[in-house]
Amino acid sequence: MTEDFNRDRWLADLRSRVPEVTVTEALARQLGGALLVDVREDGERASGTPAGALGLSRGYLELRIEHAEPDRHRDVLLLCGSGQRSLLAAETLQRMGYRRVSSVAGGMGAWKAAGLPVTAGLLDADAAERYARQMLLPQVGADGQAKLDAARVVVIGAGGLGAPLLLYLAAAGVGHITVVDDDRVERSNLHRQVIHADPRVGMSKAESARLSLGALNPRVRVTTVVERLRADNVEALVRDHDVVVDGADNFATRYLLAAATRRLGMPMVYAAIERFSGQASVFDPRRDDSPCYRCLFPEPPSAADAPNCSEAGVLGVLPGLLGLVQATEAIKLILGVGQPLVGRLLSYDALDMRFRELTLRRDPECPGCGAGATFDGYRDLERMCASAG
């Protein structure tokens, strides 16, 4: 009895300091421009939230509210499950200097009972828990996580670059990943291609990658294509995706990808490695100022000038780092946040542990995107690369 009495007194004292509004009043004020904040946890909001409400868990409200709403004079309404946590959240905002803060009496229970508009939850309980740390970021949240879930990314190659970037795309919750690779796992791959394992030596790399991604995140839909990317299939393989990630190890594939993504208006996330160094960039034909791959390499170098890993060797951790850069850029493109590596070439030297950034401008004379550029066909690109090799 004493405990209940003290709790009632505490609630009464809190209500004397924090204004409360009914759910119908809250809806009217929201329609009039007030910010409605659902302070329940991500898992609770998974089943639905008031239409138009901003989801900010009470435990992180102090850290994130200033990013979401810097105006301390705006009318702010806080809603929880039953109307008690929102009182505490409102008191917190009052201490932070927010002048017009109210708690919604009865919370989500009263909102639903009144038949007021509810937006279906973007995520179920499993997703809310799985991506909880990522969704704490204001640039992601539940809306950003839903964008990732709806995204379709095609990764060309499940080797040194593809291995880490595939793992992190799946871990981040990219909903549909297509893996294109016609090679098989060799024991010499394992020091850098961490998506594979010793018992899978001899297995298709695409299938091995699918097994690893499914074990890491069974929510992700993985499509495997055990084919080599060629002139006659490049557009069919990359079309209907949002982002193309180049994890290839040869110039012929990159020239085909560059031409196809430019013709289809799709962003291409590029990286390449050699021995102890690597580089990465983003080519995005949706932007008028974006250079293309052929602005960087107008013509393919000879095989002697650009040996592959089996000929020149490679530090095992190097593709891991560059692959993570690619995964980061792909996720940024999907979310529409930050500044992608468009017009910039990120160069990395592992021996000196040094990053350099070079400006990469669109070349008006570029054979791929310049004013006089003509497309002669994918087979011509293959022949050009074959003659260079």
What pLDDT digit, counting tens, does each position of 200-259 carry? Answer: 999 999 999 999 999 999 999 999 999 999 999 999 999 999 999 999 988 999 999 999
Domains within the chain, CATH numbers bracketed: 2-123 (3.40.250.10), 151-388 (3.40.50.720)
Cα 332 to Cα 264, 286, 322, distances in angstroms = 20, 15, 15
Task: Please write down the long-range contacts of 231-239, taking CB distance under 8 Å and 24 or more positions apart.
Answer: 231/256, 231/377, 231/378, 231/379, 231/381, 231/382, 232/378, 232/379, 234/259, 234/260, 234/378, 235/260, 235/263, 235/264, 237/154, 237/156, 237/178, 237/180, 238/154, 238/264, 238/266, 239/264
Average pLDDT along the chain: 91
Spatial CA neighbour of 221 closest among 170, 147, 181: 170
Q: For residue 272, what pLDDT is reported?
A: 95
309 is catalytic: yes
Which residues partner with 92 through β-bridges?
Answer: none
pLDDT of residue 89: 94
**Left if phi > 0, otherwise alpha if psi is -120 to 50, otherwise beta: which for 260?**
alpha
**Higher local confidence (pLDDT), 166 or 47:** 166
Enter the DSSP assignment of 315. -
pLDDT tens by residue, 230-240 = 999 999 999 99
Which of 248, 227, 262, 266 shows the shortest CA–CA distance to 375?
262
Q: 58-64: list long-range contacts, CB under 8 Å, 24+ apart.
A: 58/85, 58/88, 58/89, 58/92, 60/136, 61/37, 61/89, 61/92, 61/93, 62/92, 62/96, 64/136, 64/138
Band (13; pLDDT cuts 50, 70, 90): confident
The confidence score (pLDDT) of residue 296 equals 93
Q: Please state the pTM of the whole predicted model.
A: 0.76
Residues whose CB is less than 8 angstroms from the CB of residue 190 and which lie 6 or more positions away in sequence, other chains included: 196, 197, 198, 201
142 confidence band (pLDDT: 50, 70, 90): confident
- CB-side neighbour CA atoms (13 Å) of 294: 26
β-pair type (75-79, 35-38): parallel
Residue 60 DSSP symbol: G
Backbone angles phi, psi at 344, to 5 degrees: -135, 140
- Write the pLDDT tens digit of every residue in 61-113: 988 899 889 999 999 999 999 999 999 999 999 999 999 999 999 999 999 99
Instruction: Summarize the confidence of residues 285-314 as an average pLDDT.
Output: 81
211 versus 3: which is more confidently predicted?
211
Q: Which ranges of 97-199 does DSSP label H, i.e. alpha helix?
A: 107-113, 125-130, 132-135, 141-150, 162-172
Contacts of 372-381 with CB under 8 Å at 24 or more apart are 375/259, 375/263, 377/231, 378/230, 378/231, 378/232, 378/234, 378/256, 378/259, 378/260, 379/231, 379/232, 381/231, 381/252, 381/255, 381/256, 381/259
pLDDT reported for residue 311: 64
From the candidates 309, 366, 369, 385, give the one annotated as an active-site residue: 309
Residue 304's pLDDT band, with cuts at 50, 70 and 90, is low
